[in-house]
Amino acid sequence: MSILFTHIKELVQVREHTQEPLRGAAMDETPSIKNAYLFVEHGCIIDYGSMDQLQPHPAEEVYNCEDHIITPGYVDSHTHLVFAATREKEFEDRIHGLSYEEIAARGGGILNSAAKLASMSEEDLFNQAQQRLNDLMAMGTTSIEVKSGYGLSVESELKILRVVNRLQEKNHIPIKATFLGAHAIPLTYKEDRDGYLKLIIEEMLPAIAKEQLADYIDVFCEKNYFTVDEMLRVIEAGSAYGLKAKVHVNQFNAIGAIEAAVKAGAVSVDHLEVMTAVDYEALAASSTIATGLPSCSFFLGLDYAPMNEMIDQNIAVALATDYNPGSTPSGNMNFVFSLACIKMKMTPQRAFNALTVNAAHAMGLQDEVGSITKGKRANLLFFKNIDSIAAVPYNFGNSIIDKVFVNGYDINN
């Protein structure tokens, strides 16, 4: 099928190349064409330009988009979409003054989610995750990364990653799978950390690799979770199976995880609520993407990752939701966009670049999505009756998207 969109009020995030993530001053621009056309064929962007330059195109369908701003879809490079149950009780406990860490120490948190997931069937987990994904796509997410990590046993970690695999087969958007066996130490291994690391490295990883269920490997490197040395052991074991690292670091404490992860070649380091001078230095000289998760800071009342400071130090940054039942029960990228502008003081241009082009780099999809570029997928957002993309974060708490296209098709038709 071929479609020609004509008279587009503004076509935003138009880029010839996106081989490198955006840094520094390049983050301040979202190149666009006013009164534009866009030609899409077989699900891909074939051509675009200003209406003055429009040559005759043999399009099967033609749409006048004079009321619409068109952008690429959001790329959510960090989610825990597959979980068994919500955790409102912990939410109430926090309102009464307990901290996230205190709740975890009492057996709540990740261990609570793992206990619930163990007793849920793969079928039910899949159905719930698919419903969540449908909701996210309607809010503009058209590429997503999904982690395991609420299994913490061979059987349950495999169950989650098989669900992610089914999501990949059933949906037409790019979905990357990340193995996060090192999310927390299960109670049964409380006195035997090394035993759990061996389980991850010698049993979970080979089984996951055999079924080709993961693209990336992740570790929650944090006090009371996994040490820097343990993170490095898991990253190294993953790399033997071709899995690159995307890791949780610096959420509550700076313990040297960033420098170590960068040295180990991590694709991204995520959270970054607590940063030191050494952390900035390690990232500035690297190709690792620094991913901020402002909805998590919002929900837990943490500091926000210092995105502008990182951009000013030439660090490549992205933004993602961190959708999960404990620290971020929202997968709405529009809300991340608003928080980035309102709380992190990023300009709409910086935030949008972090939500699209750089987010694609954070999950190895820079040649496929994240911008209006010839050859990329036609995963597009249509905004009606707005004058600039600043209207998106301005309308916080709402999704003002009129239409979402995946591979050239309106997801609602």
Site for Fe ion in 295-354 (CB under 5 A): 322
Q: Is residue 218 near Fe ion by the rule CB under 5 A?
A: no
Q: Whole-number minimum distance, CB 324 to ligand NIG, in Å?
A: 5
| Alpha-carbon span 298 to 336, nearest angstrom | 10
Q: Tokens in use for 206? A: 């080979």
Q: Which residue, 251 or 338, has its beta carbon nearer to ligand NIG?
A: 251
Stretch of 59-67, 211-219, 236-244, 318-326 lying at the interface with ligand NIG (CB under 6 A): 318-326
| Alpha-carbon span 358 to 356, nearest angstrom | 6
Whether the CB-CB separation of 364 and 355 falls below 8 Å is answered with no
Q: Which residue, 157 or 322, has its beta carbon nearer to Fe ion?
A: 322
* CA 256 remoteness from chain centre: 23
Q: Is residue 251 near ligand NIG by the rule CB under 6 A?
A: yes
Beta bridge partners of 324: 328
Q: Whole-number minimum distance, CB 134 to ligand NIG, in Å?
A: 22
| 338: three-class secondary structure by DSSP | helix
Q: Is residue 334 near ligand NIG by the rule CB under 6 A?
A: no
| Alpha-carbon span 279 to 260, nearest angstrom | 10
Would residue 12 be called left, alpha or beta, if left means φ above 0 and alpha means ψ between -120 and 50 degrees?
Answer: beta
Q: Is residue 9 near ligand NIG by the rule CB under 6 A?
A: no
Q: Which residue, 121 or 224, has its beta carbon nearer to Fe ion?
A: 224
Q: Count other C-beta atoms under 10 Å from residue 372's C-beta.
A: 23
Smallest Cα–Cα separation from 369: which of 38, 143, 139? 143
Q: Is residue 10 near Fe ion by the rule CB under 5 A?
A: no
Q: Whole-number minimum distance, CB 313 to Fe ion, in Å?
A: 24
Q: Is residue 113 near ligand NIG by the rule CB under 6 A?
A: yes
Beta bridge partners of 40: 3, 45
Q: Which residue, 38 or 104, has its beta carbon nearer to ligand NIG?
A: 104
Q: Is residue 156 near ligand NIG by the rule CB under 6 A?
A: no
Q: Could you say which of 73, 151, 326, 331 contacts ligand NIG (CB under 6 A)? A: 326
Residues that bind Fe ion (CB under 5 A): 322
Residues that bind ligand NIG (CB under 6 A): 109-110, 113, 220, 248, 251, 296, 322, 324-327
